[in-house]
Amino acid sequence: MGKKSLSTESYKGVRDFYPEDMFIEKYIFGKIRETVENFGYVEYGASPLEESELYRQKSGEEIVNEQTYSFKDRGDRDVTLRPEMTPTTARMVAKKRRELAFPLRWYSITNMFRYERPQRGRLREHFQLNVDLFGVEGIEAEIETITLASKILKDFGLKEENFEIQINSRKLLEKAYEPILKNKELFPVMLRLLDKKEKMGVDKFELEWKKLFKEPFEETKNYECPELKRILEILDKRGIKTKLNPYLVRGFDYYTDIVFEVFDTNPENRRSLFGGGRYDELLSLFGEENIPAVGFGMGDVTLKNTLETYDLLPQYASSVDIYLCIVEKEYTEAADTLASSLREKGLNVAVNYTYRKIGDQIKNANKEGAPYVVCVGKKEAETLRFELKELSTGKIEELSTEKIPDAIQK
């Protein structure tokens, strides 16, 4: 035919989820759902397609200019695949703010798209948990969301010393550098520069700083505020260690005060596990009165790396409970009848219709990871008694259809 075969590789920087991978994703987000709902949060969702305009004003320069997947649709609209959830969340809250009850506790688990250079902990598509609390002005909101972030990690079996919660206040940063911030526009520029401090290296950072402020960079002194101190103290009392990082700013323009990030302490996993903060002014973008808001995002890529590092991921187990092999074609009806009775009892049943040698069919049941096998042949079709074989032990029990569900350990 002369045509080149198609590649089996997935698109650059995104993942295929084979059943073993999906099993881990389901485990991770299943556990997270339990913890987050335990704190009174309810789930919402939205399409990954948004009008590009949504991200232009507040998301932060790097994300919008360099990292979005944007295109024109057939109706000449500018469309962007969401790089983050917060603008969508704010849009949805703004749209129904009169009907919603505050404090509003919302969470979502959705995919995000960012055009990044793929590397460990950074991909072009990731799934992210977003937890946001709207309508709480005081530090209770920061305390609750940071407590929840820490609880999520602990529920996976991580210990206090495996992760570090860093926290800072943008307002405090503004105050600390007030003498050199001659006009208001300089502050967001300063934040962007500080956000890139680590990436740039000291020399380049200090050079850029000098260009911007006409004076050399100086470490912040007397860096403390009562609000931040209270947050650290209360969390500490509750057994949650946090560390003040005076140069943590986070890359989004919409944060108004406290920002925080959670890191794995193992240097192998350098990328952050969680990032979030307070954004009290996002709703005004939609012509609505502002509502105080605090929230965070947590991605599956970095969390999975961390859980792998500490050996905290479960072994794969197929969702199939029982695998039926058919000895010869004429016993298909008997196998299907058995399958449908067992399914009605709530068991997950797969039937092999290849009519290959029984040994091969059992091998496939093993490959599939099914814990139990039943072979249906002449004797079984006539007597309606079946040999239930547990593959891990080789143990066999002869049972009637009704007795099989009881014999299976789910």
- Identify which of residues 116 and 281 has a Cβ nearer to ligand HAM in the complex: 116
CA dihedral 55, 152, 191, 301 (to 10 degrees): -60
- Identify which of residues 107 and 323 has a Cβ nearer to ligand HAM in the complex: 107
Which amino acid belongs to residue 85?
A: M
- Identify which of residues 86 and 256 has a Cβ nearer to ligand HAM in the complex: 86
- Identify which of residues 83 and 371 has a Cβ nearer to ligand HAM in the complex: 83
Instruction: Identify whether the C-beta of residue 19 lies closer than 8 Å to the C-beta of residue 96.
Output: no
Tell the burial category of 73 from Cβ atoms under 10 Å away from its Cβ (0-12, 13-18, 19+). Answer: exposed
Separation CA 161–CA 291 (nearest Å):
35
Instruction: Identify whether the C-beta of residue 155 lies closer than 8 Å to the C-beta of residue 28.
Output: no
SS3 for 75? coil
Per CB under 6 A, 389 contacts ligand HAM:
no
Phi, psi of 29 (to 5 degrees): -75, -25
Per CB under 6 A, 170 contacts ligand HAM:
no
Separation CA 127–CA 121 (nearest Å):
12
Helical (H) or strand (E) element with 51 = strand 49-51
Per CB under 6 A, 60 contacts ligand HAM:
no
- Mark residues 115-154: x for contact with ligand HAM by CB under 6 A, - for none: -x-----xx--x-x-x-x----------------------
- Identify which of residues 275 and 292 has a Cβ nearer to ligand HAM in the complex: 275
Cis peptide before 246 (omega within 30 of 0): no
Instruction: Identify whether the C-beta of residue 275 lies closer than 8 Å to the C-beta of residue 303.
Output: no
Length of the chain, in residues: 410
- CB of residue 28 to ligand HAM, shortest distance in Å: 12
Interface of this chain with ligand HAM, residues 76 to 105, rule: CB under 6 A: 84-86
- Identify which of residues 193 and 301 has a Cβ nearer to ligand HAM in the complex: 301
Per CB under 6 A, 273 contacts ligand HAM:
yes
Separation CA 44–CA 227 (nearest Å):
31
Which amino acid belongs to residue 45?
A: G
**Spatial CA neighbour of 123 closest among 260, 306, 308, 302:** 302
- CB of residue 324 to ligand HAM, shortest distance in Å: 41
**Residue number closest to ligand HAM, CB atom:** 299
Per CB under 6 A, 224 contacts ligand HAM:
no
Per CB under 6 A, 55 contacts ligand HAM:
no
Per CB under 6 A, 297 contacts ligand HAM:
yes
- Identify which of residues 114 and 197 has a Cβ nearer to ligand HAM in the complex: 114
Per CB under 6 A, 50 contacts ligand HAM:
no
- CB of residue 53 to ligand HAM, shortest distance in Å: 17
What number of chain residues touch ligand HAM (CB under 6 A)?
Answer: 23
Interaction site with ligand HAM (CB under 6 A): 84-86, 114, 116, 122-123, 126, 128, 130, 132, 272-276, 295-299, 301-302
